[in-house]
Structure 1
Amino acid sequence: MTATTAPASTRRERTGWYFYDWANSAFSTTVITVFLGPFLTTVTELAAGCELGADTCHGRVHPLGLSIAAGSYFPYLVSLSVLLTVFALPVMGAIADRVPRKKPLLAATAFTGSAATAAIGFVTGDRYLLGGVLFIIANIAFGASVVVYNSFLPRLAGPDERDKVSSRGWALGYLGGGVLLLLNLIAVLTLSVDGDHQRTLDLARWSIVSAGIWWAAFTLLPLRWLREHPTAPVTQQHGNLITGGFRQLGHTLRGLRAYPLTLFFLAAFLVYNDGIQTVISLASQYGTEELHLAQSTLIVTILIVQFLAFGGALLLGAVAARIGAKNTVLIALGLWLVVLLAAFWLPEGAAVPFMALGAGIGLVMGGSQALSRSMFSQLIPTGKEGEYYGFYEISDKGTSWLGPLAFGLVYQLTNSYRIGIVSLVVFFVAGGILLAMVPLRRAVIAAGNTPPHLI
């Protein structure tokens, strides 16, 4: 296959690719977006000596001798996991490009992440350190699996089809995440008891475990339906795949200078996606700690987000077919700014306005991410999909680090989640400006690819 020919793929194969989004979105939604932040924060507060169910806690924990506010522990964990992925994900991408079969890599990373997620069932009492270690393993494995998964996209769709295929994958992912979240919502509403904070904590723990099981079970479908698409015969090299992956990564880093416009787009994406991922990963903590909303309210809101994001991804995909992916993403970033400013002014305990805000997020979230993924696929030199998506994934799907770090620092300095959330405005403004400056059509041609008719 060359850069100017459309790849041969079947409908069954594309459906299998969509279903990995369905599988791994359980981790994004049930774990990252809803349960893990409040759950691990509560466990950390118990370790800091706070009472279970206390409205406020200013206690501190001391992992590795560091003094950390209990409320900052989870944002710092997100940042730490991403610092580690800076090294792991590009190497995983280089390995994916060197092997003739990518599906075993997809299986290994997906099952490692799902096992670590399910093991959070053992995080009881004040075992916040165990919870942190398992989260880091699961988050890195999650990112590594998505690197391999994304590298299939250029093999499944031609230049003019990728926005549609990518949007369908994101849409099905939000639908799958929403279905599991709905089941967890039913469990929480049915089994919870007013005033029994321990039962609420246990329900959150087992909801996280269910995401690990869901992730592993539905990964079997893409492993069965996807086909391998080697771009060239694999050359035998000395050393194992890991050391070879590091060597290949070095070649890629040196070669990136030949594609400055691809780097320019990647920089823009890293900035604005940091803001998106921080809002996603810390929204439930903001609702719990600052707005003092009930767990059931948060779950209902995220459920609204999930199902509206299914339609929103398809809607923005259709808009991109008329005005181009770049213009559509710029409009979505403007709407994200409205969301942040509205979140800052939300009154405490106001469930309905919080749900309305979630509806707005759902309409722009999936489309902005899906179209970013498909735009980047146009800027990758043929045969380098894994390596380049390794860099891309550093800031994708809950693995951003600058945003959570800024949020955690602002909270530690001000003890205000509201100031922390509004500080994220800078990521959307700066990222949007950078994206507007990227000449996408020229960047696609510079990467040796055929540009779509509308971009």
Structure 2
Amino acid sequence: MIKLNKIEKSWALYDWANSVYAMIIISTMLPLYFKSIYKSAGGSASMSTAYWGYANSIGTLIIAIIAPILGTIADYKGYKMKFFNMFLAVGIAFTGLLAAVPTTHWNILLLFYILNSIGYSGSNIFYDAFLVDVTTEKRMDDVSTMGYALGYIGSTIPFIICMAIVILAQYSIIPVSTSTACRISFILTAIWWGLYTIPMIKNVRQVHGIDIEPNPLINSFKRLESTLKNIKKHKKMFLFLLAYFFYIDGVNTIIAMATSYGSDLGISGTSLLIILLLTQFIAFPFSILYGRLADKYKGKTMLYVGVIIYIFICVYAYFIQSTLDFWILAMLVGSSQGGIQALSRSYFGKLVPKESANEFFGFYNIFGKFAAIIGPFLVGIVTQITGKSNYGVFSIIFLFIIGGIILIKVPEDIETISPKIGLSMDVVKKLKK
């Protein structure tokens, strides 16, 4: 385990802070809670899975549209943290407000979920872009994977607390309903997220960027146009983004839909929570392991490993029938989930010109977010047509296969790419003239 300095640690702690959102709101408590109140309203299990998929698609579509624009503006010095804080506030506020939605209004619950997911995803755009400000290229793989590792282990603490509250409520050990216990977990998630973001806000600063100039909005659109043209010219970067577009879609879809799928298989809510908790413990050491192996075998090789494991996961998910099968599936996901995400972030971080990190990470996120529209929608529509969730989950395999094939064409040595990118400062100088 590498030793992080104060700034690196403050940055990595945001993974610790916001991973509780991914765990409780995206993967466990909220989807189970939504399925229960939708069922109470007379809906079917398969339709609740479909609506959950649609909600995930809508939120990611919105953030995908605005990501490159915001990223380009945030490249001005001092802007990155302002945008980070803005989306952070939206995410935390609407996460807490989930607790205020009446159990009879499942549609409002989905609306608030879409809004807090925009805040969560938007803050992550700028958080990812801060990677170039907090560490060196040599340490990026290790720092990025350490962030994900801290996120996985850190999210287990509030998750255990929330799970305990729900279980105690189910057995009437505490005087609250299961529904109220779930709403308490939403409030605790918002508090945890905000509390452990303080070191990030306090200690992390934007190092790389461009000087503020007259008409920043107009010039931002000009730089965005230049970046679009430049990405087309640099085939190697575009190929990586295209590969990332497909395989990260599969990863994000499995994260978002896992609990709904397990519930459709007849696995109890308590069993699902325990399984997903242990998945976090598995993900912690494997995230660090991916970073260590990337130092030895290169990041791209480890990305291949992650893609292959996920292809096997899709095949295995099609055939599972028991709780034990779901246990095995969850452990496989835990072995590669953090590693493939962290190494994708650091791999791209080494490609981009540092002074325009937000601009390029805006595109990194737009590829990731637009991809996250396809997967949940694919699961939703296939499940709705067939009436079988396993068909929907299996359909994700095509995303990993396509992403893996494109990744083959991305060069092994990314250090040979970086000097060629040199886009932004030249563009900025021309714009200033």
Q: Name the TM-score, length of structure 1 as normaliser.
A: 0.86
Of 388, 391, 416, the match for 1:419: 391
Are 2:353 and 1:353 equivalent residues in the alignment? no
Distance verdict in 2 for CA 1:209–1:399, change over 3 Å: farther
Q: CA RMSD in A?
A: 2.3
Distance verdict in 2 for CA 1:70–1:296, change over 3 Å: closer
Are 2:11 and 1:17 equivalent residues in the alignment? yes
Amino acid at match of 1:115: A
Report the counterpart of residue 102 of structure 1 in structure 2. 80
Are 2:433 and 1:439 equivalent residues in the alignment? no
Structure 2 unaligned regions, length at least 5? 424-433
Amino acid at match of 2:405: I
Of 30, 40, 57, the match for 1:36: 30
Work out the percentage of aligned pairs sharing the same amino acid. Answer: 27
Report the counterpart of residue 453 of structure 1 in structure 2. none
Are 2:224 and 1:249 equivalent residues in the alignment? yes
Amino acid at match of 2:333: I
Amino acid at match of 2:126: V
Are 2:359 and 1:387 equivalent residues in the alignment? yes
Are 2:155 and 1:157 equivalent residues in the alignment? no
Check conservation: 1:272, 1:432, Cα contact below 8 A.
yes
Q: Name the TM-score, length of structure 2 as normaliser.
A: 0.90
**Partner Cα distance (1:57, 1:276) in 2:** 23
Deviations 1:195-251 (A, max 9, x none): xxx93333223222321221112111211121231434222326xx5x664454333
**394-403 or 220-229, larger mean C-alpha shift:** 394-403
Check conservation: 1:277, 1:397, Cα contact below 8 A.
no
Are 2:251 and 1:276 equivalent residues in the alignment? yes
Q: How does 1:241-320 map to 2 (within 5 A)?
A: 241=217, 245-289=220-264, 291-320=265-294
Q: How does 1:4-83 map to 2 (within 5 A)?
A: 11-47=5-41, 49-50=42-43, 56-57=44-45, 69-83=47-61
Deviations 1:389-414 (A, max 9, x none): 12222354898111111101101110
Q: How does 1:229-244 map to 2 (within 5 A)?
A: 229-237=207-215, 241=217
Of 141, 146, 149, the match for 1:171: 149
Of 189, 194, 204, the match for 1:226: 204
Of 287, 300, 311, the match for 1:337: 311
Check conservation: 1:102, 1:228, Cα contact below 8 A.
yes
Distance verdict in 2 for CA 1:70–1:280, change over 3 Å: closer
Number of aligned positions between the proteins: 416
Distance verdict in 2 for CA 1:225–1:71, change over 3 Å: same
Report the counterpart of residue 374 of structure 1 in structure 2. 346
**Partner Cα distance (2:144, 2:402) in 1:** 25
Report the counterpart of residue 85 of structure 1 in structure 2. 63
Tell me the secondary structure at the aligned position of residue 233 of structure 1. coil
Are 2:319 and 1:325 equivalent residues in the alignment? no
Offset of residue 98 of structure 1 = 2.1
Tell me the secondary structure at the aligned position of residue 93 of structure 1. helix
Q: How does 1:99-248 map to 2 (within 5 A)?
A: 99-193=77-171, 199-237=177-215, 241=217, 245-248=220-223
**Partner Cα distance (2:87, 2:37) in 1:** 27
**Partner Cα distance (1:174, 1:71) in 2:** 25
Deviations 1:327-380 (A, max 9, x none): 011011111122222222211xx3333223212211111111100100011121
Distance verdict in 2 for CA 1:184–1:141, change over 3 Å: same
Amino acid at match of 2:227: T
Deviations 1:92-134 (A, max 9, x none): 2112112424223222211210111110012222212211221
Moved over 4 A (4+): 243-247, 395-399
Tell me the secondary structure at the aligned position of residue 348 of structure 2. helix
Q: Which one has the bigger helix percentage? A: 2
Report the counterpart of residue 428 of structure 2 in structure 1. none
Offset of residue 136 of structure 1 = 1.4
Structure 1 unaligned regions, length at least 5? 1-9, 51-55, 59-68, 450-455
Tell me the secondary structure at the aligned position of residue 231 of structure 1. coil
Distance verdict in 2 for CA 1:397–1:27, change over 3 Å: farther
Check conservation: 2:61, 2:369, Cα contact below 8 A.
no
